[in-house]
Amino acid sequence: MGNSKHNINNDQLKLSSERLRALCHPLRMKILKFIDENENINVNKIYNTLKLEQSITSQHLRILRNAGIVSTKREGKFIYYQIEYDKVKSIRFYVRKFLEEETQEKENA
């Protein structure tokens, strides 16, 4: 495997794995589901509806935002969150591409 050529962009695969780490937390999944169901929602509505502490909600939203999974839009004193669906889809694309190449490599060995 050391001499093999990979067509996959390793930077994209690394970014996808970082996004997967951000996604694989039960509370963040719950927050994402809520954002998905409400499209464009502010942090107050998120933590009040889900009965979470504001600081914990903000911490998990920061992780999701840093991973590029959610984006924000400020309107006055409120910050609204929305899911970046294209970036979530790209996770699946790069992981699948990597796995396909690994499978092909093993079949050709």
15-34 confidence digits (pLDDT tens): 777 888 888 899 999 999 99
This prediction has a pTM of 0.75
Q: Which secondary-structure segment (H or E) carries 32? A: helix 26-38
| Cα 23 from Cα 60, distance rounded (Å) | 10
Q: Where are the domains of the chain?
A: 26-108
Name residue 82's amino acid.
Q
Supply φ then ψ for residue 99, to 5 degrees: -65, -40
Q: Give the pLDDT confidence of 71-94 residue by residue, as tens digits.
A: 999 999 999 999 999 988 887 777
* pLDDT over 70 at 8, yes or no: no
Domain 26-108 has CATH 3.40.50.740: no
pLDDT tens digits for 35-72?
999 988 999 999 999 999 999 999 999 999 999 999 99
